[in-house]
Amino acid sequence: MTVLGPGRRIGLWLQGCSIGCVGCCSRDTWDADSGRYISVATLVSWCKQVGAEGVDGITVSGGEPFEQPEALNELLVKLREWRRDAGLDFDILVYSGYAFSQLERRFASTVTLADVVVPGPYVASRPSEMGLTGSTNQKLHFLNDDVQRRYIQWLDDQQNGNPRRIQLAVDDAGVWLVGIPRAGDLTKLEAMCRDAGLELAGSSWRA
């Protein structure tokens, strides 16, 4: 994917979220589905396979990643070890619906394993036009100066001719949306699908 951070990225969505922001476009990640369990070792092995031809970053979202704190900590440690041992330069971005002050207080050792954190709940009444955030209460917290420069350039490019985008993937299970849609984007998407003769059923962004 290329929409949740600079460059070519691996996206990981962790299952389970008890925050339940109104207007969330990823309701399918709310339930902690034990049937979708995967070990950290298997997940990291998959990342190495996918990233064998080059990767610029890894974005961890959900769901709420910090509702699996032990697994998230292990995942970030293993990703950093891979980066170090392979001499790679990808960054690690983690999303959370918790405020940054909560993350620092409750998960201090885990937060510092990320290069960038985007914390805070989604607030539908405060839509954001800035890339990587859904609402204006969400801010990027940089924990790596080199990565900060990369992100600032990428965000500047978005504002100057490369507007925020979403990506769609289609498989036997359905249509998958990657990215952060702006207000009204999903309604437009549904209308475009209807015009093309495709009716979307069971949309994860519907109540």
- Model confidence pLDDT, tens digit, residues 145-185: 889 999 998 888 777 655 667 777 777 777 677 878 777 77
The Cα 59–Cα 131 span in angstroms is 14
pTM of the model: 0.88
The Cα 146–Cα 126 span in angstroms is 30
CB 137 within 8 A of CB 153: no
pLDDT of 35:
77
Work out the widest C-alpha separation in the chain, in whole angstroms. Answer: 50
Residue given tokens 């990703």 in the structure block? 79
Phi, psi (degrees; rounded to nearest 5) at 166: -125, 155
pLDDT tens profile 8-47: 999 999 999 999 999 888 888 899 877 778 999 999 999 9
Q: Which residue has the higher pLDDT, 203 or 130?
A: 130
